[in-house]
């Protein structure tokens, strides 16, 4: 109690108070007032969430590694025409293509939406048959100052 009286006295006189005498008694904000997390975390898809056009028509599907690839735990779906789907921070988000550039077996696509900018660069690694290709990709996701890059393995299938 004496230190509170001393602190009030010093504040009243307009004298500076050393931070050694102050104790932080603030409480964290309730969750609904907390600022949104700036972390970018990709999640796996449940097949029931994927629209039929991306699930059954010509599309590319990507996973983090060969194990996830074999278990069909995909993190990115794209129909190559205009739509890409990602699950970021637990939300399924649809992005529309803004630009595409193709050089040989490498394709770079740019997407934007929901406050994110996405650069997706895929390279054909092996052709299995006429309409089935194994691919590798680099996925770069930006939101504000946060940037996250993922290496993916996927396939194109019709």
If you count them, how many residues does the chain have? Answer: 158
Give the pLDDT confidence of 69-91 residue by residue, as tens digits: 788 888 888 876 788 888 888 88
Locate 148 and state its tokens: 């996250």
Taking alpha carbons only, the member of 115, 151, 141, 152 closest to residue 41 is 141
Residues of the chain with confidence (pLDDT) below 50: 3, 7, 10-12, 14-25, 29, 31-34
* Confidence at residue 21, expressed as pLDDT on a 0 to 100 scale: 46
* Confidence at residue 82, expressed as pLDDT on a 0 to 100 scale: 80
Residue-range domain boundaries for the chain: 2-33, 47-157
> Rounded to 5, what percent of the chain is helix, strand, coil?
20, 45, 35
């Amino acid at each position: 109690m004496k230190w509170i009286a001393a602190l009030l006295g010093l504040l009243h006189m307009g004298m500076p108070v050393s931070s050694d005498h102050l104790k932080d008694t603030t409480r964290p904000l309730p969750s609904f007032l907390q600022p949104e997390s700036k972390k970018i975390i990709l999640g796996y898809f449940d097949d029931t969430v994927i629209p039929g056009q991306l699930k059954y028509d010509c599309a590319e599907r990507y996973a983090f590694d060969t194990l996830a690839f074999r278990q069909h735990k995909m993190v990115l779906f794209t129909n190559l025409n205009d739509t890409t789907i990602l699950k970021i921070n637990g939300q399924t988000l649809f992005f529309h293509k803004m630009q595409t550039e193709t050089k040989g077996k490498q394709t770079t696509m740019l997407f934007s939406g929901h406050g994110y900018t996405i650069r997706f660069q895929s390279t054909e690694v092996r052709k299995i048959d006429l309409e089935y290709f194994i691919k590798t990709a680099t996925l770069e996701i930006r939101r504000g100052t946060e940037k996250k890059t993922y290496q993916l393995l996927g396939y194109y299938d019709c």
